[in-house]
Amino acid sequence: MLKGRNAVVTGSTSGIGEGVARALAAQGANIMLNGFGDAAAIEKLRAELAAKHGVKVFYNPADLSKAAECAALIEDAEKRLGSVDILVNNAGIQHVSPVDEFPTEKWDLIIAINLSSAFHTIHAALPGMKKRGFGKIINTGSTHALVASANKAAYVAAKHGILGLTKVVALETATTGITCNAICPGWVLTPLVQKQIDARAANEKIDLKQAEHNLLAEKQPSLRFTKVEDIGGVAVFLCSPAAQNITGIALPVDGGWTAQ
């Protein structure tokens, strides 16, 4: 379905971003990977996607906390792939602390990576999308774009900001052939969430299975994690003709979290 389209997926060397990159590649899209991690593992992922799906796959290590590197990522993708038709802003980090104890440098870094980077990549990608009359922008929001949790001030603020940015871009591009939407996952079993499970098990002196259950029971009525493959499938749908008139939405994939 996406044969001949070119996608940039930030934070795609693991977790949700990797799942989205795999799903888009499986539909024929060429991919620009981005993220941190072991160089050999990243190259293995790049080569695997290219060989398995017969698509072009490149990697750019841009540090998305820096505006210039966000713009350079888009420029590099346009140069090597020919265009940026699909932009998935997925990169994100987390820190948990009460507001009055929250390190200011952590606040600044989370806002830079989780929110500002999306503005910078969209800012760089939109001129080409407008020129071609086609673009699919997907921002990874969170249930925390819709509701809050204690001790996550920067993350919640950034994700609320992502949803606001999504709506503004959707309105500004409504007649251009470009759509902009946010996928809002609940608990997805990624390395980031696994760290929270491990910490909970250690702090509460319980096994990992019980820690997982307790984490889910607090927020996610389905009592199951969303899979990264599920998020990939939603991203593919938002890039499909069926979603051509869907723009400016927050699409929860959260097991009922925000229905409560």
Q: Which of 125, 1, 12, 119 is nearest to 66 (CA)?
A: 119
User: Which amino acids are annotated catalytic?
Assistant: 155
- CA-nearest of 78, 59, 75 to 67 is 75
Q: Where are the alpha helices (DSSP H) in the chain?
A: 15-26, 39-53, 67-81, 104-111, 117-132, 153-172, 191-204, 208-219, 228-238
106, two tokens: 């952590």
Which of 117, 121, 129, 139 has the alpha carbon at shortest distance from 248?
139
Q: What is the DSSP string of 138-172?
A: EEE--GGGTS--TTBHHHHHHHHHHHHHHHHHHHH
Q: Residue holding tokens 């774009």?
A: 145
pLDDT score for 32? 98
Per-residue pLDDT, 4: 94
- Residue 80: the pLDDT is 97
| Angle at alpha carbon of residue 216, lines to 21 and 184, rounded to 5° | 40
Position 255 scores a pLDDT of 96
**Residue 181, pLDDT score:** 98
Per domain, the residue ranges of the chain are 6-186+226-252, 189-225
Residue 71 burial (10 A CB sphere; 0-12, 13-18, 19+)? middle
CATH of 6-186+226-252, one of 1.10.1040.10, 3.40.1190.20, 2.60.120.510, 3.40.50.720: 3.40.50.720
For the whole model, what pTM was predicted?
0.95
Nearest partner of 57 among 87, 83, 77, 35, judged by Cα: 77
Q: Which residue has the tokens 């702090």?
A: 203
**Tell me, what's the pLDDT at 196?**
86
What is the phi-psi region of residue 26: left when phi exceeds 0, alpha when psi lies from -120 to 50, beta otherwise? alpha
Query: How far is residue 73's CA from residue 78's CA, in Å, rounded to a whole number?
Result: 9
pLDDT tens, residue order, the chain (260 aa): 899 999 999 999 999 999 999 999 999 999 999 999 999 999 999 999 999 999 999 999 999 999 999 999 999 999 999 999 999 999 999 999 999 999 999 999 999 999 999 999 999 999 999 999 999 999 999 999 999 999 999 999 999 999 999 999 999 999 999 999 999 999 998 877 888 899 999 999 999 999 999 999 999 999 999 999 999 999 999 999 999 999 999 999 999 999 99
Q: What angle do CA 253, 186, 33 make, to 5 degrees?
A: 80
